[in-house]
Amino acid sequence: MWQEKQDGMKLDKKFLAITAVVIAVFVLAGTATLYNVPRNATQTTTESFDFTVSGSSSCLRFLNSSVPTYYVPFTVAANQNYQLTINCTKMPGGASGWTDVYVYDGYWDEGTNHTCKAMDLYPILNDIQATNLEVKINQPYVGNFGDSIQKSYTVFFIIPPGGQSTFHVTYKPA
């Protein structure tokens, strides 16, 4: 009888061990699947938009944590081409005023009303690329976006220092 109890306990331990291994495999497989889903896979494509943003700042340094930054997130459908235009209608410094434009290959929308602080971007900072382009009063930023696959982007530009600035942003089929 003692042998039967020991055999039964061995079977129970084996069953529990196998069950734990199976559960662990499913958890690991599920986690791996979540991490391998492309960031933009669930993002719906963005239709045309037209809006104005306005604000002021006292600092132009992109890495300064408190610098207010404008952002424009959008997703372009596969085999579609869209044009983003950022036109400055009011800039501190007039014709000599400017601000740089940066592009992130991904959809980022963690601010409010297209405005955030530079420190909000620190987690994705390494993935934000400078365009070597500037927005000025008579020199808008015009970017064309599209690919053979659905893709998301976010365009960032710093609120220039020294007074009020206003930017008119449009996104439409190219």
* Contact predicate 96/148, CB 8 Å: no
The predicted pLDDT at position 133 comes to 92
pLDDT of 119 reads 93
Q: In this structure, are 70 and 22 located in the same domain?
A: no
Q: Could you tell me if residue 42 is inside a domain?
A: no
Are 4 and 73 members of one domain?
no
Are residues 43 and 152 in contact, defined by beta-carbon separation less than 8 angstroms? yes
Do 66 and 123 reside in the same domain of the chain?
A: yes
Do residue 127 and residue 153 come from a single domain? Answer: yes
- Could you read off the pLDDT of 63-83 as tens digits, one per residue? 688 889 999 999 999 999 999
Residues 6+ apart with CB under 8 A from 44: 75
* Stated pTM of the model: 0.74
Question: Quick one: pLDDT at residue 59?
Answer: 76
Residue 43 in domain: no
**pLDDT value at residue 125:** 93
Domain interval for residue 16: 1-37
* Same structural domain, 109 and 75: yes
What does the block give as tokens for 36?
């391998």
What total of structural domains would you count in the chain? 2
Q: Give residue 35's pLDDT.
A: 40
Given a cut of 70, the residues of the chain with pLDDT beneath it are 1-42, 60-63
Helix H or strand E segment including 76: strand 68-76
Residue 52, pLDDT score: 97
The pLDDT score that the predictor gives to residue 12 is 64
Same domain, 67 and 126: yes
DSSP string, 144-163: EE--SS-EEEEEEEEPPBSE
Give the single-character DSSP code of 148. Answer: S
